[in-house]
Copies of this chain bind each other. A is one copy, B any other.
Amino acid sequence: MKVLIADDDPLVAGALKVILEAQNDIEVAGVASNGEEAVSMAASLLPDVAVMDIRMDGMNGIEAASLILKEHKEIKILFLTTFLDDEYINQALNMGASGYILKQDSGTLPSAVRAVGGGQIVFGGRIVKKLPDLLNRKEQFDYDSYGISDKEKELIEMVAEGLSNKEISEKMFLGEGTVRNMMSSVLSKLDLRDRTQLACFYYQKIKP
């Protein structure tokens, strides 16, 4: 199995090479030290798997990988990263990467490379613990920073259920006019125009 390594830190790149070459079924076809190099080497060497750092000077790993996949979608991309970074995980997934593991777990790199080469997808264990949170995120919205009170929060949730002012006023034991005033206040705090925009805001920003 032919592997291309891309990392702008020569020490890391060297270490990865040593680890992978110790496996008798893995051959390190080349080592790139930045994104551009990775793209051109991938095109000439046609490795089975490209093991890439995400953070590199110049063209980063994500960009390089998507260029590689554009031309050779049979090459599997395995990202190595130092941090847990939600944004990168999402980008990598949507881009069609085959794996995303932490450098700290380099001991499991060979098996990850084999699994990826075999057409499977691999995530570092620590990353998976974050996946459910990524899927059903909730309540992370900071009402306070907008100066929104608990009552107003209630109101927002009722709007997001499609209730009218009258219905809300009954549920909250308030006058309908009061609810209208609260609504007005909430809308201006969030810089929105009407209750429908508030409902959209709720589903897009508060409980995505």
Chain B residues, Cβ within 8 Å of A164 = 193-194
Contact with B along A179-208 (1 / 0, CB 8 A): 000000000000011111101110110000
How many identical chains are in the complex?
2
- Chain A, 71-108, contact with B by CB distance < 8 Å: what is the 0/1 string? 00000000000000000001001100010010001011
Contact B124 A121 (CB under 8 A): yes
Is A105 within 8 A of B119, CB to CB? yes
Q: Mostly helix, strand, loop or mixed at chain A's interface?
A: helix
Tell me which of A5-13, A31-39, A110-118, A142-150 binds B: A110-118
Q: Which of A40-48, A58-66, A154-162 contacts B (4 or more CB under 8 A)?
A: A154-162
Which of A114, A115, A200, A203 has the most chain B CB atoms inside 10 A of its CB?
A115
Question: Contacts A132-B94, A203-B203 given: A192-B162 contact, CB under 8 Å?
Answer: yes
Contact partners of A193 in chain B: CB under 8 A: 162, 164
A121 to chain B, nearest CB (A): 4
| Chain B min CB distance to A199 (Å) | 5
Residue positions of A touching B, CB distance < 8 A: 90, 93-94, 98, 101, 105, 107-108, 111-112, 114-115, 117-125, 127-128, 131-132, 135-136, 159-162, 164, 192-197, 199-201, 203-204
Please list the 3 inter-chain residue pairs (A to B) with the smallest Cβ-Cβ separation, ordered nearest first. Answer: A108-B118, A162-B197, A203-B203
Show 12 A/B contacts (Cβ-Cβ < 8 Å), sorted by A. A93-B128, A101-B120, A105-B119, A111-B120, A119-B125, A122-B122, A160-B200, A162-B196, A164-B193, A164-B194, A199-B199, A203-B203
